[in-house]
A and B are shown apart, each in its own frame.
Chain A
């Protein structure tokens, strides 16, 4: 024991004697040896400039003039392809899972004489929740993820980070936050883990707290559908797809802006400090391996995310069925809550149904929209459109979804507000748990969960007031 303390004391003493020079000295000699060895073993034929392709491409993709426009265009292209491509497979899937399988399951259960509540929870609740999630989420994911992965495989993501690095630095955050933010466009929980690449705890916390402003794949489908219904409808039909894509790009950019603003405010207040320097390596462009990418993005991402969504949708489906069917003084629990929350909801451009849906859907953002549709039908009291109380249903087209939403007296304001609220609300429970595991702090987990929600309330409140003033 004493010897060990002796070692440490001696080390302390010597450290003072040497001063600051050790680290630099060490780095210097590492570099020196690396250079010496390389000079003896590497030979480069400089007669032909074969590097020019990469550096020419980099000059364009990371130029101050074209860097950002190209980024927006690529983003818009990816969304547009997703929106246009997902429609048909989505309705095919829903007609199979809901129009064909669902009635058969119902017939089967009444044939074997299941009690109504078992049938309700299992088939109207769990099965339909799962079917809805698959029909709505699978097609956009199967298009969006491979496209995104191809960009990643090609080497484009580090260029995005390179372009945005100065913005994050100016916001007092770490330049690498641009990378973790990009990761969040897939999954916020995974992105929170990826903030480990940031060395400084202060900057890492900022990256964790603001990651929720990256729309995750649980939220893309709803953004896309609502944009199609409310924004696309504003445009002539041949431009509807472009308009909707532009709206989603707009929300995405607003998310990036918010991440920057919140990072800036945090670094000026409770997380004060200077941005630390870092070097970001721009990897060489590599030809994407298309088949391999398709395989891994389908198996690793699409199926993985879908499975997660289904796992969360099944119990949520059962719960929706229960709150819509357990009644108290003639009204279901769901209706009690909706009536109570409605005035507050309207104040911020939403309604009671949306608020209840967001509470039920805390485990997974994916099931917000199906829950909203089901609850809307329940409250509007027209079960003939759907399939009865507590039954999540699928609508074959965006137009039919719009019909239900008009029953719930949705306006353009509601559509815009819910797109904004979907960007600015608490992270899903998986992400919250991941934040707790990564930070080990209840306080910061609380901040990360509540801060975006507060911002969402304030933002939507002011939007609704101004909208109504001029509308």
Chain B
């Protein structure tokens, strides 16, 4: 895999893995024999663990109550000759608070840089689920929205224009009924399309806060970009700094945050880094 990556080094690499191996290892993920890393995020009780079980064939306990998964669960599967590691994150309503479960989810998406983040949403409560979706899209630009429980939505006579939704969010939107194993193939295909670069996400970003805040963000972003020129989500980092997020403050101070996106740009130095940290 490293060989593969070396030959693809450079800014324009589209289909080499984006995940950050040193950080993933730090987060406790065993990266042996893994080509791609998928994260499962979503509100509590939307069926993340059911999707996880469907993809991995594992039998992780699922339950109908929010807060079932408070730790990460991991599994692996193969698709199109690629080996995937999938990480089931704790269900959260937002990524803005400081509870442990929200931090686990956010840190994984931010520092682990999964190749694709699948956001599992409850179709019967789409509006509320979009709150988290929008926050995830601020952090990462490779995401899929999996509209789970479509059967429940139909029962409640709710219909969703998924094509329009996909356009609005700039990411693929997949309809699913995970309990009946429906939509899983489409989800896998979509994952494959993003990883291979056939689908390019253009994630929706919120850019109209109050003028004063926008002004402050701009000033901060300029400074951040100067110190960490390759950071793609500098606006989000600036926002977190303004909010006084201790974890982000620490990672700026230690420079760790700069490693987030340097991986593809400078493979050699990172391979050395990897060796040193193992």
Contact = CB atoms under 8 A, between A and B. Distances in A.
Interface residues of B, number: 69
Contact of A51 (B97, B156, B226): B156
Nearest to B161: A41
B165 A296 contact: no
B213 A22 contact: yes
A50 B134 contact: no
A284 B124 contact: yes
Given A11-B220, A37-B130, A193-B71, A284 B96 contact: no
B276 interface: no
Contacts of A22: 213, 242-243
B152 to A, nearest CB: 6
B177 to A, nearest CB: 12
A49 to B, nearest CB: 9
Contacts of B252: 4, 7-8
B161 to A, nearest CB: 4
A7 B220 contact: yes
Contact of A34 (B67, B134, B157, B212): B134
A433 B208 CA distance: 48
Contacts of B226: 3
Contacts of A26: 96, 209, 239, 243
Interface secondary structure of A, over-half rule: helix
Interface string B28-53: 00000000000000011100000000
Interface string A148-159: 010011110110
A14 interface: yes
B197 interface: no
A11 B156 contact: no
A107 to B, nearest CB: 41
A281 B99 contact: no
Contacts of B64: 152-155, 157, 283, 286
Interface string B196-221: 00000000101011101100100110
Interface in A7-30: 7-8, 10-11, 14-15, 17-18, 21-23, 25-27, 29-30
Contacts of A43: 158-161
B15 interface: no
6 contacts: A38-B127, A41-B168, A44-B158, A179-B65, A196-B70, A196-B100
Contacts of B96: 23, 26-27
B206 A3 contact: no
Interface stretch (B6-14, B17-25, B55-63, B76-84): B55-63
